């Protein structure tokens, strides 16, 4: 059976004016369904670029990326939007919630673009919120929630449309270590109990240790890829 994610010799080149930046220099890897992967590396190592490509927000310069056998290269902008909507859930470092709308409406956002009817939307959003332990906080606005709670809303938003994969870009970057632990606990639970595939970028080794597999990026190459023998339990 094919892997969930297959990446072959992925290259990404940026042009910052005259300067050519080699962000990815030939990445190959595969991720199976149900894995919890942490991607580590210093800033500028290309891990964020890699994440954008995995999330169909950006295309590679060369090489191939397949998600469940789908090649984004051949798809239009709107088709990519649909894949992001149905197969990918994003969690960002800065939470990226809509500040003027309530938590539950933030969670509903992907369902709005999936054309899900209103009542069904509310039901699913409530369920996703209870999965991240925010039952009853749905009608608060982001600025009335703590950082950890905001990130949990973002996780609920990423989960609500039952994606194939959850992509998290420095999910604990703006959080203290106690709250970070709580977020990792949620990730582990989602991964173990619901079999959700998670790929997470982090530069903190102790956050990476919550994952089953750690991949180390350096200067656009993978320099290390190993399974964590005894992952940390929160």
Give yes or no for a contact between 13 and 54, defined as CB atoms under 8 angstroms apart.
no
Among 36, 50, 65, 90, binds other proteins (CB under 8 A): 90
Considering the rule CB under 8 A, would residue 66 count as an interface residue with other proteins? no
Among 85, 150, 172, 188, binds other proteins (CB under 8 A): 85
91-130 footprint of other proteins as x/- string (CB under 8 A): -x---xxx-xx-------xx-xxxxxxx------------
Closest separation between CB of residue 140 and other proteins, Å? 16
The nearer residue to other proteins, 110 or 138, going by C-beta atoms, is 110
Considering the rule CB under 8 A, would residue 171 count as an interface residue with other proteins? no
Question: What is the torsional sign of CA 48, 51, 57, 60?
Answer: positive
Considering the rule CB under 8 A, would residue 170 count as an interface residue with other proteins? no
Report how many residues bind other proteins under the rule CB under 8 A. Answer: 29
Considering the rule CB under 8 A, would residue 82 count as an interface residue with other proteins? yes
Reading phi first (left if > 0) and then psi (alpha if -120 to 50, else beta), residue 44 is in left
Closest separation between CB of residue 88 and other proteins, Å? 9
C-alpha distance from residue 205 to each of 177, 180, 196 (Å): 12, 13, 22
Closest CA to 200 of 182, 215, 185, 190: 215
Give yes or no for a contact between 171 and 183, defined as CB atoms under 8 angstroms apart.
yes
The nearer residue to other proteins, 110 or 220, going by C-beta atoms, is 110
Piece in contact with other proteins (CB under 8 A), picked from 76-84, 171-179, 201-209, 218-226: 76-84
Sites for other proteins among residues 46-65 (CB under 8 A):
52, 55, 57-58
Considering the rule CB under 8 A, would residue 209 count as an interface residue with other proteins? no
Return the half-sphere exposure (C-beta side, CA atoms, 13 A cut-off) of residue 96: 14
- How crowded is residue 43: how many other Cβ atoms within 10 Å of its Cβ? 8
The nearer residue to other proteins, 116 or 211, going by C-beta atoms, is 116
Q: What are phi and psi of 165, to 5 degrees?
A: -150, 145
Closest CA to 187 of 93, 91, 123, 55: 91
CA 225/CA 69 separation, integer angstroms: 23
Considering the rule CB under 8 A, would residue 152 count as an interface residue with other proteins? no
Considering the rule CB under 8 A, would residue 157 count as an interface residue with other proteins? yes
Among 69, 74, 77, 233, binds other proteins (CB under 8 A): 77
As a whole number of angstroms, the longest Cα–Cα distance in the chain is: 53
CA 184/CA 170 separation, integer angstroms: 11
* Residues at the interface with other proteins (CB under 8 A): 52, 55, 57-58, 77-78, 81-82, 84-86, 90, 92, 96-98, 100-101, 109-110, 112-118, 157, 161
């Amino acid at each position: 059976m094919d892997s969930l994610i297959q990446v072959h010799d992925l290259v990404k080149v940026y042009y910052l004016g005259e300067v050519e930046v080699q962000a990815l220099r030939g990445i190959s890897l595969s991720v199976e369904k149900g894995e919890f992967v942490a991607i580590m590396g210093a800033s500028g190592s290309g891990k964020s670029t890699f994440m954008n490509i995995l999330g169909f927000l950006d295309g590679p310069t060369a090489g191939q990326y397949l998600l469940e056998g789908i090649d984004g290269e051949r798809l239009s902008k709107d088709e990519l939007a649909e894949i992001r909507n149905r197969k990918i859930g994003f969690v960002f470092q800065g939470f990226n919630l809509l500040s003027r709308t309530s938590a539950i409406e933030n969670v509903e956002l992907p369902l709005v673009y999936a054309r899900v009817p209103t009542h069904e939307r509310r039901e699913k959003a409530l369920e996703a919120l209870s999965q991240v332990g925010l039952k009853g906080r749905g009608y608060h606005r982001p600025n009335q929630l703590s950082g950890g709670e905001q990130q949990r809303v973002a996780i609920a938003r990423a989960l609500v449309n039952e994606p194939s994969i959850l992509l998290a870009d420095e999910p604990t970057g703006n959080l203290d270590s106690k709250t970070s632990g709580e977020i990792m606990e949620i990730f582990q639970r989602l991964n173990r109990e619901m079999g959700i595939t998670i790929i997470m970028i982090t530069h903190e080794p102790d956050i990476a240790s919550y994952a089953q597999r750690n991949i180390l990026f350096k200067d656009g190459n993978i320099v290390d890829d190993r399974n964590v023998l005894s992952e940390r339990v929160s």
